[in-house]
Every structure is written in structure tokens, then in C-alpha cells.
Amino acid sequence: MTAPGALAQGFEPGGTPGSFDFYVLALSWSPTYCDGPGARREAEGQCRPGRGLGFVVHGLWPQYNRGYPSNCSSVVRAPTRQAIEVAGQVYPSEGLARHEWRSHGTCSGLDPVAYFQAARDARAAVTIPDAFKGLERDTRMAPIEVARQFVAANRGLRPDMMSVTCRAGQLQEVRICFAKDLRGFTPCPEVARQNCRTGEVAIDAAR
């Protein structure tokens, strides 16, 4: 997975590590990812038949109020085995974790272990609504209803603190904005404007 083009409008290559305004936790709907080109890359990982994955962590992204930094170090510190073990508790594949560290973790101002721990903490702070757990049949839902489900399941979360994105009529991601210290959700107008504008999205069952 790579950072979707919807956020690329304010993309800033480089940037000062640790200098950003808030985080976005991107949760991808795995069946949509595995219906696309990613299926070949992740045939033995995230997209292996029988894994039954629903929402998975795509990444924890440092964000500016307008735009976002990426690849903030010319000399990337490779994650240690300890860091990869922490990442394994969060990301669906090691390859994705390494990519996310290079692209986004280097902008966090944290070392690899601390960055993956931050991603783990952010994911632990989000409750996945029951409607998306163990989904056995393909279904359809309005993006605004997806958002309502997340707001209802997560105390303190509001629609202006998140977005629901789609790709080719399918649910793609739920992106939730966190304060820089990860101690709560935060408003993020630029992210909220990226909401999918279609009437309904297809939500394929986990396989």
C-alpha cells in the first residue's frame, strides 16, 4: 500500500522530522486492497486466502494542517528486529511496515520502535464497529453511514475528525485524525473533505 493520491495535493517531499500538526491513522478495508493490484504483491501475506482480514492498519501519517510531509530523512534508519516485531502486532505485512516507516515514520521524529508503538497505540484507541467484524457476505452502505458507525463506536470521535474514502465504488479506507500526542481525536478539515461522495459503496466480505 502507498499513500493514496487524495492526500497528495499537499505532498511535501522531505520535511523536518517531528515538525507536523497531527496524525492520521489510515485503516484500509483489506478486501478492496486485495481486489486490486496489491493482491499479487501480497499473495502470501495480507491477501492470502483464508486470512479473513477486514480493516487493517495502512499507516500512521504525520500531517500538516494543509498537506503532509514524506520521506523526511535522506539516510533512513532501517527498523531493527525488535521494531519489526512491534510492527507485526499492527501491520498486515512486514513489507508494508517497512514502506510506512520510510515514507511516514521518518517524519514522526521517533525511532522505528517508538513509531510502530505509536501506530499500535493509535489502532488500540479505535473500536471497529460490529457491522464490520467478521463480515461474511458482501454488502453495500452509504459512506455517511460508515462514518456514523465509527462515531457511534468511538467516544469523542466526530465526523469532522475523519473521512471515509472509496475506490471504483468500493470502500477503501477510514482515516481518523489524532492529536499529535495521540491522546485523543482532533478536527482535521482537509482530511474530512476527502470523504467519498458516492451514494453507496460496495463492502466485500472478508475472505
Residue 8 reports pLDDT greater than 60: no
Selected catalytic residue, list 58, 85, 99, 190: 58
> Which of 9-23, 53-67, 162-176, 182-196 has the lowest average pLDDT?
9-23
- The CATH number that applies at residue 197 is 3.90.730.10
What total of structural domains would you count in the chain?
1
Strand stretches in the chain, DSSP E: 11-13, 22-29, 55-63, 68-70, 139-141, 162-167, 170-179, 201-203
58 is catalytic: yes
Give the dihedral of Cα atoms 34, 35, 37, 42; nearest 10 deg.
20
Selected catalytic residue, list 12, 42, 104, 190: 104
Upper half-sphere CA count for residue 93 (Cβ side, 13 Å): 19
104 is catalytic: yes
Higher per-residue confidence, 6 vs 41:
41
pTM of this structure = 0.91
Residue 4 reports pLDDT greater than 60: no
Give residue 46's pLDDT. Answer: 84
Query: pLDDT class for 40, splitting at 50, 70, 90?
Result: low
Pairing of strands 11-13, 68-70: parallel
Give residue 48's pLDDT. Answer: 83
Selected catalytic residue, list 12, 44, 94, 100: 100
Domain that holds residue 31: 5-203
Using one digit for the tens of pLDDT, what is the confidence trace for 89-135? Answer: 999 999 999 999 999 999 999 999 999 999 999 999 999 999 999 88
Q: What is the mean pLDDT of the chain?
A: 91
